[in-house]
Amino acid sequence: MGNAGASDHHQGGTHDQSGWVTRFQSVDQVFRQWASLLMAVALTVFVLLEVNFSQLSPLRQASVFVTAGLVLCFLQVPVHPSLGKSVWARGLDMVMLVLAILCCGYLLYAGDALGQRAALYTKTDLIVGTVGLGLILEAARRTVGWSLPILAVVFMIYAHQSVAQQLPDWMFPHRGQDWESIIGQTYLRTQGVFGTAASVMFRYVFLFVVFGALLEASGATEYLIGIAVRFFGKRSGGPAKIAVIASGLMGSLSGSAVANAATTGAFTIPLMKKVGFKPHEAAGVEAASSSGGALVPPVMGAGAYMMMEIINPPVTYLQIMQAALIPAILYYLSIFLLVHFSARRIDTQKNLVPSRVSADEIRQSTEVIELAEHTPWFSFAGLSFVCSITSLLVFMIIGYSPPRAVAYSTAIVALILMIDPNTKVPLRSRILGLGVWALATVLAIYVAPSGLVATWDDGLIIGMAAMAIVGIFSPAWSPLLRKLFRSTSDGSISLIVAAATVGVIVGMVSRTGIGTAVPQAIIPLAEGNLFLGLVAIMTCSLILGMGLPSAVSYLLLATVIGPVFADPQLGVPILAAHMFIFYFGMMAMVTPPVALAAYATASIAQASVFWSSVAAFRYSLVGFTLPFMFVYRPALLLMNETGGPPVWSEVVIAVVAAVLGILALSSAMSGFLFYRLTVGMRVLLFLAAASALFPDQFGLLGKHVQLFDLIGCALLGVTAVWNWRSGQDHPEHP
């Protein structure tokens, strides 16, 4: 009986303990959901108001911004996926969350004093700096993996005085810093964590994350997919072509290749698998298409605005936009052609693979096609997309700052969403929402402190922020706004944390002098052979950009690699140089072994991550040749060799040569032109592509006609005739 009683007591204790754990997990989950939602709302309102009505110092602005990102990270991203429900792991998250808030509070309290102290930091300063830096590195590990925090730690070790003077010459030895100086540089001043990277993310990129989330909530993604289906749904390789078009358009606005891939890939990948694309190929097409969205003007994933901030001497928004136009078209043309030829090869082989597709995926694919085929040419969702693009262009052209332009464009999309009859909100609640917006606008004009709100435009922004705050507690508006702010937090966490971590690297670059040492090492190579110099810069860009979001990657590369192009002896226009590193920062998203966009699509396609990365690399291969092409042929950027207006005959010749090279390369890689290609035909087409895309040209008739262009055109023509005639002679062997 005693043993039985002990056993019962033990079982009861175990049961009580299990019940306590269950109750804790339940309460913790509810807390995290509400805390994440309220933090996302607070962060959005803070950024919207602060970038348009700045009231805080740069250090305080960046501190609040980065801390909000850390809080969202510790609320939403577990220490490890397998520990998501662990009590001790959840407790650790709360400890880190509180520490992040305390560090932020200290910086808000002592911000002015920190600036006055210079390098004479107190013990408390250094403790706060050390803890804050550790939190940022841990958050980066959770959100973007090990590569970025390891790189930051390596740069800090490189900067330390115990290592700096022992380095060999090829690693650029320097004077070195003690740990106190390193902590101060990275965390307690505006040259590290709270420096340029966080500032650009705060002023430009975050608002575009909100903008993209609002467009998604308005139904713009489904509209774009529907229109693409109407054009290409029943054509050869239609689903893959849908992925190319829809991902390119949405990627420009969202700025996140991973989010874009996950959103559109959920629609397009099952469709591609259904028509015969292997799972890893479907994942590769979507990853390549989603990553390239950062190349598409007018927004370029906010890249256009970052270039305006970084490039010196300054360039205008229109210059950046026109420079990006032709390369973006060529990039998507290359994916489109490769998809088309691959689909034709699948069709002619009659090698469909329905066994790879589940019944649920087939049903979902059929439903998507049927729904999309009935997508009207005009709808409020389509109006949202068109107005978003048009308004951004108009506001920037007439001279508004990027933060103000995107705020106004967001207001226009929000207004369309509120009057859209398809919005699942009662009419009365919509009228009340518009009333709250109007009332808050009027109050902002007449009640706000003098000088803060000067015009009705200013009041409109404050009214929109007030409407969002009120709406989140409204039963009618809450579901839609929760989805909006959840998407905003999901899209912003990795960007904020990665930008803060990149700030550590940027701070160490400026402190150690490696930012000038690397250019000094590469410039002589580039002066002797520009092509080899560009290859070296490309390699550095791919390595440094590995595993980083495109926007963050460009910020890092512009700091470390950008100064290489400042040497006038290279003869590369400054905008062409920044476009070069911007492209390769984007290409890091699809370059194995760390190809974040391919990781996202591989999970949707249920395919191998490695082979999905390889497929993404193959489909985006032209993206590796384009930067070399426009450095040697600035006409592709609509400029001449000095950055001035182009000669239009050179633009036409450069575009024709690029299109022929892309056509030849796409056909050779897919093994299909009019009919299946033999090995000999594919070799000729690879040679044709190499000739047309060959950067070091030999001019005929001055610079207007290039020898290698003519060779490439001739090889393509001969192969095309050969393939057509062989297919006509042997129709039984397509």
Buried b / exposed e across 341-375, counting CB within 10 Å, b at 16+?
Answer: bbbbbbbeeeeeeeebbeeebeebbeebbeebeeb
Buried b / exposed e across 18-56, counting CB within 10 Å, b at 16+?
Answer: eeeeeeeeeebeeebeebbbebbbebbbbbbbbbbbeee
Helix (H), strand (E) at residue 116: helix 87-117
Q: What is the DSSP letter of 378?
A: S
Q: What is the rounded CA–CA span in Å between residue 243 and residue 261? A: 9
What does the pLDDT read at residue 64?
92
Residue reference for tokens 């900067």 = 159
pLDDT tens track for 378-412: 778 888 888 888 888 888 888 888 888 888 988 99
What does the pLDDT read at residue 237?
63
pLDDT tens track for 500-509: 998 888 888 8
What does the pLDDT read at residue 495?
83
Preceding peptide of 298 cis, ω within 30°: yes
What does the pLDDT read at residue 363?
47
Buried b / exposed e across 107-136, counting CB within 10 Å, b at 16+?
Answer: beebbeebeeeeeebeeebbebbbbbbebb
Helical pair 478-512 and 2-52, crossing angle rounded to 10 deg = 80
CB contact set of 25 (below 8 Å; sequence gap of 6+)? 85, 87, 90
Q: What is the rounded CA–CA span in Å between residue 719 and residue 318? A: 40
DSSP code string of 274-315: HTT--HHHHHHHHHHHHHGGGGSTTTGGGHHHHHHHH-SS--
pLDDT tens track for 52-79: 888 888 888 889 999 999 999 999 988 8
What does the pLDDT read at residue 98?
94
> What is the value of pTM for the model shown?
0.79
What does the pLDDT read at residue 73?
94
Nearest partner of 46 among 108, 103, 2, judged by Cα? 108
Structure tokens at 442: 């009027």
For the chain, which residues score pLDDT lower than 70? 1-21, 24, 84, 112, 115-119, 232-239, 251-256, 275, 301-302, 347-377, 450-451, 515-516, 519, 525-528, 547, 567, 593, 695-705, 728-734
What does the pLDDT read at residue 425?
86
Query: Are 459 and 402 a contacting pair, CB within 8 Å?
Result: no
Q: What is the rounded CA–CA span in Å between residue 466 and residue 730? A: 71
Backbone angles phi, psi at 177, to 5 degrees: -130, 155
Structure tokens at 478: 């809450």
